[in-house]
Amino acid sequence: MRYNRKQFALILFFLAGSTSIGNAQTNDTLTLSQAIQMAIKNSPSYQAGEAAVEEAKARYREAESYAYPQFAGDASYTRIDPVVTLQFPINGHNESFSTMPNDNYNGAFTLQQPLWSFGRFEAEDRVAESGIKSATDNLDQFRSQAAYATTQVYYSLLTTDKAISVEQAQVNVLEGNLADAKKRQAQGTATSLDALNIEARISATQSTISELESNRHKQGAMLRRLLGMAPGTHVDVTLPPAAEALPEQEDSLLDVAEKQRPELVSAMDAENTARLQVEAARNNNDPLLTTNITGGVKDGYLPNLTQPKLNWAGTVSLHVPILDGGRTHAQVDEAEAEYHAAQARTEDAKRGVQSDIEQALADLQSSRQRLELVKTQIAQAQQAYNVAQVRYQNGAATNLDVLTAQSELEQAELQQAQLMYGYELSQYNLNKAVGTVIW
């Protein structure tokens, strides 16, 4: 019978892992792995995150540069008029001597090297280095968001495709039943009411298919948006490999999440950065020991004031802040306030992760239980359908009884298909809750 062939095809679908679009994957089919890679690559948030990582690296190089030698060149020209002149009697007449030239030229190179910052530069380096880690954590967070958002939409498409397949198979069965009803009507063994009932069911099922196709179009638009694909591009999907099976003990999952959940890792690293900023702020008033060496060419030296001469000077200086008007104290207060806020955000992230794990576990266990129950429901519906067919052939039941039993079997099989996809998606959601890398 047609219906039994449909059931056999449904079993083959789950055994082979094919989709409703075809039994074999074609070149136009987009796998979940490919979709995730496209989503990450084309995500504006991810691209912004990459720029933030480069910004953090540049900030670290800037912080390091303050401990390196600084080399600069300067040149200047100064015109002074008048200049002080002195009169000296020499050989019976007065000679004029200028104390400085009218034209003053100066060209010099300066080398400055911090010798000891008393921990100030080192603290700033640690803050900048921690900033790189935080920016990288955020990048992982963007990857995770893009990957799991794509997975959700991908499985929505799979479920809708399967629903369309089941409903279309039902139309094929009903059309076969309609042909049998019309044959019976021509033989005088049935009335036109049987054919009318079947035609009404066909119309209702086709309406359901139309609604499902509309939903698929919307889901396809969502996936294209995530993947950065052109509007109107048709996307075919295929059943992906099962998600990684995780232990279903909440404590074990929490331990895993603390090590790899991007949101939690990012919050803890941000807290560490804030702690380092407190230390750096406290070092702002530390002394600074530096050395300067300046060398160049200038004029103005006796006895010939206009003759340029090589010159150099070396200096070692110690800068000790004494009073800054409370600026450092205010900076420390600001950094400590941000540190307390970061601690609160970390605690909130931990609670959020724990809640996500609890919900994902509940959904997974519920999906498993419902999947087991629907197997019994299908067996019962199949038996009821077989009995209704026999009774109808023997004249003990109406065609409406057969259609009702057939509808119940169809709905049970459709529910099984949806629950199987839902169970797989629950596995992915549990992996998302603990931060499993799927990209």
Residue 87: pLDDT band (50, 70, 90) is confident
| Gap between the Cα atoms of 94 and 159, Å rounded | 111
User: Same domain for 302 and 241?
Assistant: no
User: Same domain for 215 and 364?
Assistant: yes
- Count how many domains the chain has: 2
| Gap between the Cα atoms of 77 and 300, Å rounded | 12
Task: Residue 212: name the closest of 251, 171, 249, 248 by CA.
Answer: 171
Mean pLDDT computed over every residue of the chain: 87
Q: Is residue 330 in a domain?
A: yes
Task: Residue 112: name the closest of 315, 286, 321, 288 by CA.
Answer: 315
Q: Is the pLDDT of residue 264 over 80?
A: yes
Q: Is the pLDDT of residue 11 over 50?
A: no
Predicted pLDDT of residue 392? 80
Is the CB of residue 272 less than 8 Å from the CB of residue 101?
Answer: no
Predicted pLDDT of residue 14? 38
pLDDT in tens, 117-169: 888 888 999 999 999 999 999 999 999 999 999 999 999 999 999 999 988 98
Query: What CATH number is associated with residue 236?
Result: 1.20.1600.10
User: Same domain for 195 and 292?
Assistant: no
Residue 399: pLDDT band (50, 70, 90) is confident
Per DSSP, helices labelled H in 293-398 are 327-393
User: Same domain for 172 and 297?
Assistant: no
Q: What domain range is 184 assigned to?
A: 2-19+28-67+120-286+326-434
Structure tokens at 105: 């030229």
Q: Is residue 175 in a domain?
A: yes
| Gap between the Cα atoms of 124 and 221, Å rounded | 47
Structure tokens at 234: 């048709």
Q: Is residue 34 in a domain?
A: yes
DSSP 138-158: HHHHHHHHHHHHHHHHHHHHH
**Amino acid identity of 409?**
L
Q: Is residue 439 in a domain?
A: no
**Residue of higher predicted confidence among 303 and 7:** 303
Task: Residue 312: name the closest of 111, 71, 77 by CA.
Answer: 111
**Residue of higher predicted confidence among 91 and 428:** 428
- CA dihedral angle for residue 65, residue 68, residue 69, residue 75, rounded to 10 degrees: 0
Residue 1: pLDDT band (50, 70, 90) is very low
Q: What is the DSSP letter of 230?
A: P
pLDDT in tens, 211-231: 999 999 999 999 999 999 998
Predicted pLDDT of residue 28? 66
pLDDT in tens, 21-62: 333 334 468 999 999 999 999 999 999 999 999 999 999 999
Q: Which residue has the tokens 């449909």?
A: 6
pLDDT in tens, 355-398: 999 999 999 999 999 988 998 899 999 999 899 888 888 878 77
* Enclosing H/E stretch for 324: none
Structure tokens at 298: 């200038």
User: Same domain for 261 and 397?
Assistant: yes
User: Same domain for 62 and 107?
Assistant: no
| Gap between the Cα atoms of 405 and 202, Å rounded | 15
Structure tokens at 207: 């309406």
User: Same domain for 425 and 311?
Assistant: no
**Could you say which of 302, 320, 338 is where a domain stops?**
320
Q: Is residue 178 in a domain?
A: yes
Q: Report the Cα–Cα distance between both ends of the chain, in Å, rounded.
A: 45
User: Same domain for 403 and 305?
Assistant: no
User: Same domain for 301 and 184?
Assistant: no
**Could you say which of 320, 340, 363 is where a domain stops?**
320
User: Same domain for 346 and 417?
Assistant: yes
Structure tokens at 251: 């404590």
Q: Is residue 167 in a domain?
A: yes
User: Same domain for 199 and 91?
Assistant: no
- Claim: this prediction has a pTM higher than 0.85: no
Q: Is residue 154 in a domain?
A: yes
Q: Is residue 246 in a domain?
A: yes
- Number of Cβ within a 10 Å radius of residue 382: 18
User: Same domain for 377 and 353?
Assistant: yes
Structure tokens at 89: 């009697």
